[in-house]
Structure 1
Amino acid sequence: MMNYNFIAPYYHSLSQLIFLNQQHRAHFPILNFLKAGDKILWVGGGAGKFILELEKLNFNLEITYIDFSSKMIDLARKQSTKNIKINFIISDIFDFETSEKYDVIMTTFLFDHFHQSKAEELFMKLNNFMNTDGIWFYVDFTQNQKAWQKTLTKLMLQFFRIIIGLDISRLPKMNQLFEKDYDVINQQQFFRKYIESSIYKKK
């Protein structure tokens, strides 16, 4: 079973070192698409370093913030907010159930933890939580990779296999899942096009 608790205190610094803070920068496009009163489901937010950027919008936002690492949630809780109401939940997302419908779903470096079949199952589960006119903010490693990117991905997966118990050998293909029910309204790439930040709107 995957466990981020050991690496949680060092994860953001490690990300900054390896990806030159571009993992963090890849979150910024969503800031232009949020509106006051949005209900957000954020899955895999980790240590919550981006919470402060959301706070700067000075919007009243309501966030359901889910991560399966208790240490990551502990770190995220330390981010100070006045305008944002955050409900922190420690849970495996596959165990999470709600009757809520969300205006925004954020999955940032989430699907890269799962085999294709589990990624598809998770996509369908989250899709059921989406409002009819909602947007999905998806950030992850690009699907069509060049040789150096494939090498880096392989090394990264091997590292996380040792550190957190990640058990995949390749990234799932997500683009085709979104194409059926969503339109791309914004897409940007970071770290020499290795990281892709996409904003999808429900059709």
Structure 2
Amino acid sequence: MEINKKQHWENVFATKKETEVSWYQEKPETSLQFFERNNIPKTAKILEIGGGDSYLIDNLLLQDYESLTLLDISENAIERIKKRLGEKSEKVRFVVSDILDFSSIEKFDVIHDRASFHFLTKDEDIQKYATLMNDILKENGLYFVGTFSESGPLKCSGLEITQYSKEKFLKIFGNDFSLLHSFEEVHKTPFETTQNFIFCEFQKKM
């Protein structure tokens, strides 16, 4: 039986504290370094996919980024971050949606996805996602993606995931995007366990 993704994530964010999920990071250094490394302007239109209640948005607001969109399948996750941000939440556009159901007339300068893409396990969904990234990113726009690597876990939050290598990423995104940077990193969870991630930085071709 196929798990209802939305119900699954609504339940996760209704029952677990932010420090009780494996992806918790008070300061998402790897993601912030991506913004720094690429000198991403404060006016850039930024889309955060599956951000849940991660602290990336808080940190980008602190750095005076002006055009932030956070998309997550879970309304509970979005309510949680809104509550945490307080008045600052008015500076963020929130979208409750499965990424596969998302469409946007507006194109983004930057798309960031840490640990959301790897939950897609069907080839047609992976392809649909890749097509969407190409559709909603501006020419020369940047796409930063992080997933479990081939030496990372096989599941996350009780769900199957797809592991990735640089070669696998290039097979999916290589036609429309140039790979600028790729590296692996060990993430330490709040439970003192470790997860191996791969991060890739792509630029949309002209």
TM range (shorter): 0.7 to 0.9
Residue 176 of structure 2 corresponds to 181
Q: Which has the higher contact order (CA 8 A, sep 6+)?
A: 1
RMSD: 2.8
Distance 2:134 2:57 in 1: 23
- Which structure 1 residue ranges, 5 or more long, are not aligned? 162-167
For the residue of structure 2 that corresponds to 1:99, the secondary structure is: coil
Deviation at 1:26, TM superposition (A): 3.2
Aligned amino acid, residue 99 of structure 2: I
Aligned amino acid, residue 12 of structure 2: I
Please give the per-residue CA displacement for 1:117-168, whole angstroms capped at 9, x wherever unaligned.
Answer: 21111110121011011100111112xx24xx3xxx23x35x513xxxxxx4
Is the counterpart of residue 78 in structure 1 residue 114 in structure 2? no
Distance 2:25 2:185 in 1: 10
Distance 1:182 1:25, change over 3 A: same
Please give the per-residue CA displacement for 1:90-119, whole angstroms capped at 9, x wherever unaligned.
Answer: 112222222111101112211111123211
For the residue of structure 1 that corresponds to 2:42, the secondary structure is: coil
Distance 1:103 1:182 in 2: 14
Is the counterpart of residue 114 in structure 1 residue 120 in structure 2? yes
Residue 35 of structure 1 corresponds to 41
The TM-score with structure 1 as length reference comes to 0.77
For the residue of structure 2 that corresponds to 1:131, the secondary structure is: strand
Residue 138 (structure 1) aligned to one of 122, 145, 148? 145
Deviation at 1:187, TM superposition (A): 3.1
Residue 160 (structure 1) aligned to one of 144, 158, 161? 158
For the residue of structure 2 that corresponds to 1:78, the secondary structure is: helix
Distance 1:169 1:21 in 2: 20
After TM superposition, the structure 1 = structure 2 runs for residues 2-41 of structure 1, keeping only pairs within 5 Å, are 2=5, 3-8=8-13, 10=16, 12-15=18-21, 21=25, 24-32=28-36, 33=38, 34-41=40-47
For the residue of structure 1 that corresponds to 2:182, the secondary structure is: strand
Contact 2:118 2:163 survives alignment (8 Å): yes
Residue 195 of structure 1 corresponds to 197
